[in-house]
Structure 1
Amino acid sequence: MTGVPASAAGGSGAKPVRGGKLGTAAVNQASLWNIANILTMVRLLLVPGFVLLLFHNGGYDPAWRSFAWAAFAIAMITDLFDGHLARTYNLVTDFGKIADPIADKAIMGAALVSLSVLGDLPWWITGVIIARELGITLMRFWVIRHAVIPASRGGKLKTLAQGTAVGMYVLALTGPLATLRFWMMMVAVVLTVVTGLDYVRQAVVLRRKGLAAERAAAAERAAEATEEALQAAAGTTVAGAVGGTVEGTVGAGSTAGAVAGATDVRGGVTDVRGGVTDVRGTAEARDAAEAER
């Protein structure tokens, strides 16, 4: 019930680094058949075996209940070991991620329901614990898009208290030990409720932070898009203004050239006219001189 997924060892033959960080390569190279996954599968197989041993011979035989307690204890111990191996040696597989929490909930749920069916444990206790476990599991999926809710010390203490109390109820205890197991179960129920409320608080906070971060990111993207659009519009306006100025300059130059050309033509015509007048004056003077002679 630690919430740490069982994993798989690297299948490439490379020696795993103790305590090293888990990388994508380790996940991709993981092998299904490794010690962590084997322990998880053993715990899954122990669930039906535990139920059969507990209900054997009517469910009240002290010897068979001792065997059932041994199966339950082995299942709880394997839960601690496969999680430790997964964290230490970076043994991760998709199967381990799914099977480990299922095995945790299966062995505890089977024990609680079986004890309530036998009349040893009140149904309200079973209902509270199972509802809490299922609710927290669903809540983890509710916030998994934003963040992962880490396992707290309270959650680990809750798991230890639940395992101890349920194990004491599986055994056929009498006298002071029977009274002690009742109070141990009350401690487990209180821790179950308190840690469950704390997980709800964490989930709400993480979801709010995640939504706020998403809104901030969306606003930033919108601002960047607006800035790019404004820059593009400004560039288009500047280009148009420059083009209009150039065209105006070219047009003004052409007009000035035309005016200068027209002036030159007019000057040329005037010069021609002046030359003709001079020629006529010269001819008239020559005719007058000849007439005087």
Structure 2
Amino acid sequence: MKRDERRVVSPWNIANVLTVLRLALVPFFVVCLFLPGSGWRVAALVVFAVASITDHLDGELARRYGLITDFGKIADPIADKALIGAALVSLSILGELQWWITILILGRELGITVLRFMLLRHAVIPASYGGKVKTVLQIAAIVLYLLPWVPEIVQLVVMGAALVVTLGTGVDYVIRAIRLRKVAEQARGE
């Protein structure tokens, strides 16, 4: 294959199907979380866990088998934010998580998502190691809040770590975006 030739990848591939599945699981997760009874709480936990696993799996499959598509680049972060956002908002509505934590995390996520879309015409900033740690911490914190027997102090410590890393990686992303934009402008001769 010549350098100029690019393999066309169908948006209908397993990685994107998993991303869409994650997005489709969000309302089921929320419904299970709000239904009364410990059985429904466990169901919410299982749905959240399955959706979280698809987050790792779709990215792994896309990279390993060259299934990266423009659809996936846009839909994957949206599905991630929808799942995490629905969990945080739901836990705050239920009075189990302070609203200020939810607002800070969602504010960062929304801001970075908007920034990402603004930069699409220049380039895509790849996820950093810190971004991956942020996601793992957010998922772990939410799982701890979904489990009924976890002491509140453990929930707060892990959520606090998730919050610190979330805000820190947000600052890092903004700095990288500014640098990328400057490089792009210099390359265009502006």
Q: When the two structures are superposed, what TM-score results if normalisation uses the length of structure 2? A: 0.91
Question: Using the alignment, how far apart are the partners of 1:88 and 1:195 within structure 2?
Answer: 25
Matched, 1:90 2:66: yes
After superposition, residues 75-154 of structure 1 pair within 5 angstroms as 75-154=51-130
**Matches of 1:196 and 1:118, distance apart in 2:** 27
Distance 1:79 1:92 in 2: 14
Alpha-carbon separation, structure 2, partners of 1:53 and 1:194: 32
Letter in 2 for 1:82: D
> Are 2:178 and 1:204 aligned?
yes
Partner of 1:257: none
Q: Which of residues 156, 164, 168 is equivalent to 1:182?
A: 156
- Which of residues 17, 38, 44 in structure 1 aligns to 2:23? 44
Give the secondary structure class of the aligned counterpart of 1:25.
coil
The answer on whether the counterparts of 1:62 and 1:171 sit within 8 Å (CA) in structure 2 is no
**Unaligned segments of structure 2, at least 5 residues:** none
Percent identity, aligned pairs only? 53
* SS at structure 1 position matched to 2:102: helix
When structure 1 is superposed on structure 2, of 155-164 and 95-104 the one drifting more is 95-104
1:118-147 CA-partner distances (Å, limit 9, x unpaired): 000011111111111111111122233333
Conserved? CA contact 2:11–2:71, under 8 Å:
no
Look up the SS of the partner of 1:134 in the other structure.
helix
Query: Partner of 1:24 in structure 2?
Result: 6
- Gap runs ≥5 in structure 1: 1-20, 217-293
CA-CA distance at 1:25 after TM superposition: 2.5
Higher relative contact order (CA 8 A, sep 6+): 2
1:166 aligns with one of 139, 142, 161:
142
Q: Identify which range, 191-200 or 145-154, moves more after superposition.
A: 145-154
Would you say the 8 A contact 2:22–2:55 is kept in 1?
Answer: yes
Matches of 1:149 and 1:96, distance apart in 2: 14
Mapped contact 2:11–2:72 kept (Cα < 8 A): no
The residue type equivalent to 1:157 in the other structure is: V
> How far is the alpha carbon of 1:102 from its aligned partner?
1.7
State the 4+ residue runs in structure 1 displaced beyond 6 angstroms.
none
2: CA distance between counterparts of 1:45 and 1:83?
A: 17
Structure-1 separation of matches of 2:123 and 2:71: 22
Amino acid at match of 2:35: H
Judging changes above 3 Å, is the alpha-carbon distance between structure 1 residues 93 and 212 closer, same or farther for their aligned structure 2 residues? closer
Task: Indicate yes or no: 2:37 matched with 1:55.
Answer: no
Letter in 2 for 1:91: L
Which one-letter code corresponds to 2:164 in the other structure? V
Contact 1:26 1:92 in 2 (8 A): no
Query: Judging changes above 3 Å, is the alpha-carbon distance between structure 1 residues 63 and 109 closer, same or farther for their aligned structure 2 residues?
Result: same
Q: Secondary structure at the match of 2:113?
A: helix
Do 1:26 and 1:91's aligned partners in 2 also have CA atoms closer than 8 Å? no
Task: Please give the alpha-carbon distance, in whole angstroms, between the structure 1 residues aligned to 2:82 and 2:42.
Answer: 20
Deviation readout 1:193-217 (Å, 9 max, x if unpaired): 100000011111111122122226x
Q: Structure 1, residues 171-202: CA drift from partner, whole Å, max 9, x if none? A: 2235xx32111100000000001000000111
Once the two structures are TM-superposed, the CA of residue 93 in structure 1 deviates from its matched residue by 4.1
Distance 1:37 1:206, change over 3 A: closer
